[in-house]
């Protein structure tokens, strides 16, 4: 992210983001000039929290910069403001949006008002226009409580709308949890209880996973209809669990780079630790009946879970999985794995094909779905896996979709996959 300040007759200045401190933060760069031949770089923000990769807004008159970050909690995005004047403290940052929601903000050019699109896991998205006000005692603005367009809403309005539509059942609401893993790192997750949940009782459990770089599934924003497939699982009596383990985004370089050079071999540690935590708290997880499912990188980890931990995961449903990193986009793969010639062991251990002999010998434990015209994760990945499984005489079911690319874009195909998926979960888990 870069933003150039238009300063006629003065040295060129620009904002950049950098993770040199361990977290993504804003820096002001002053380019060399006749009077100052060296670059000058100064931190505008600092701390153990990240700037989010979204546009920034600069008020040159007041020397303020507005940005989106996850300072207060990694589960929510908020609008913040900091000063870039000489001598400003990079630790002094002011939040402008309300806690308890995730916010997406667009600000006007004068940095006097902004459009705020916000939601939470329990409240639908709504929008408001907010105005900023200043007073002489503070360089930072506050949000006006009297000016602007305020959109009323919340749980009461949601309930009224559901009643108006004569819908007797609401969208499931997730419950956030966190735990400390074996290395002393805090991990966040979200659990959706089955519709017929009774406290203290165990239920068949579906672990939904992505687990790869630049992803975050556990966030405090509205999930319908994105999580519709998972919500259907709760209607059928399953506990659904999501966990953002090490390697997921917006937690700092150390957290995010945990899988560097060893993809497919470390991500499942935090997932299993989370399942054990939930089971120890008697939160509706049955460790004897755990299925794992995911798409793309999540499909890859679903395969690795069944191969590496067949005693923990009874069933895997893998969609469009990478099975050998040499087959995937080199820009992505080499960013996280390095060159194959320099990390041969990492590529070998990270290939599902080399785990083919570890898959279980029982029937009805592995379902693979893949679009045959997938332009992202090529169908060749699943072809090679099936060949390896056949060679090892390992039971599996491959469901190809001739008309589909990386996602299931046709409604009838999505319906077919969901019917197949839930048939497997209901009958084999």
By annotation, the residues acting in catalysis are 296, 374, 406
Contact between 78 and 68 (Cβ < 8 Å)? yes
Contact between 267 and 207 (Cβ < 8 Å)? no
Q: Where are the beta strands (DSSP E) in 302-383?
A: 315-319, 366-371
Give the H/E segment covering residue 271. Answer: helix 268-280
**CA-based nearest residue to 250, from 118, 102, 360:** 102
Contact between 76 and 70 (Cβ < 8 Å)? yes
| Helical pair 411-428 and 228-235, crossing angle rounded to 10 deg | 40
The three-state secondary structure class of 410 is coil
**CA-based nearest residue to 98, from 58, 55, 136, 128:** 128
**CA-based nearest residue to 296, from 211, 358, 354, 223:** 211
13/7 Cα distance (integer angstroms): 8
The three-state secondary structure class of 310 is coil
Tokens 């940052």 locate to 93
405/358 Cα distance (integer angstroms): 29
* β-bridge mates for residue 79, sequence order: 68
Residue 208: what are its φ and ψ, rounded to 5°?
Answer: -95, 130
* Residue 180 tokens, joined: 């400390």
The three-state secondary structure class of 21 is coil
Cβ-proximal residues to 232 (8 Å cutoff; 6+ apart), any chain: 418, 422
Give the H/E segment covering residue 27. Answer: strand 25-30
Strand order across the beta sheet in which 78-83 lies? 57-59, 64-69, 78-83, 94-95
């Amino acid at each position: 992210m870069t933003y150039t300040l238009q300063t006629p007759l003065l040295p060129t200045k620009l904002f950049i983001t950098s993770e040199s401190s361990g977290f993504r933060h804003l820096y002001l760069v002053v380019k060399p000039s006749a009077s100052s031949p060296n670059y000058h770089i100064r931190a505008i923000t600092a701390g153990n929290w990240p700037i989010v990769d979204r546009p920034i807004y600069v008020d040159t008159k007041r020397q303020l910069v507005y940005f989106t970050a996850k300072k207060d909690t990694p589960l929510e995005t908020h609008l913040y403001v900091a000063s870039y004047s000489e001598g400003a403290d990079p630790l002094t940052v002011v939040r402008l949006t309300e806690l308890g929601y995730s916010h997406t903000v667009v600000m006007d050019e004068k940095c006097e008002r902004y459009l705020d699109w916000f939601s939470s896991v329990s409240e639908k998205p709504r929008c408001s226009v907010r105005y900023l006000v200043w007073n002489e005692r503070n360089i930072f603005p506050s949000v006006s409580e009297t000016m602007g367009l305020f959109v009323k809403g919340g749980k009461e309005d949601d309930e009224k709308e559901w009643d108006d539509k004569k819908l007797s059942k609401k969208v499931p609401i997730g419950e956030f949890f966190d735990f400390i893993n074996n290395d002393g790192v805090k991990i966040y997750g979200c659990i959706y209880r089955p519709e017929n949940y009774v406290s203290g009782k165990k239920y068949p459990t579906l672990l939904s996973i992505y687990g790869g770089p630049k992803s975050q599934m556990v966030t405090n924003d509205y999930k319908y209809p994105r999580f519709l497939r998972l919500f259907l699982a709760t209607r059928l009596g399953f506990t659904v669990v999501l966990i953002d383990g090490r390697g997921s985004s917006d937690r700092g370089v150390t957290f995010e780079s945990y899988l560097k050079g060893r993809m497919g071999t470390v991500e499942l540690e935090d997932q299993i630790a989370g399942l054990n935590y939930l089971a120890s708290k008697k939160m509706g997880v049955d460790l004897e009946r755990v299925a794992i499912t995911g798409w793309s990188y999540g499909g890859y980890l679903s395969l690795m879970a069944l191969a590496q931990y067949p005693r923990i995961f009874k069933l895997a449903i893998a969609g469009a999985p990478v099975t050998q990193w040499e087959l995937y986009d080199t820009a992505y793969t080499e960013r996280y794995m390095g060159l194959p010639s320099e990390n041969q062991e990492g590529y070998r251990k990270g290939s599902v094909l080399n785990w083919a002999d570890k898959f279980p010998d029982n029937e009805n434990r592995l379902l693979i779905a893949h679009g045959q015209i997938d332009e992202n994760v090529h169908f060749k990945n699943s072809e090679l896996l099936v060949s390896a499984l056949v060679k090892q005489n390992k039971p599996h079911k491959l469901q190809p979709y001739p008309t589909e690319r990386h996602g299931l874009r046709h409604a009838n195909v999505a319906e077919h996959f969901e019917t197949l998926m839930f048939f497997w979960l209901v009958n084999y888990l």
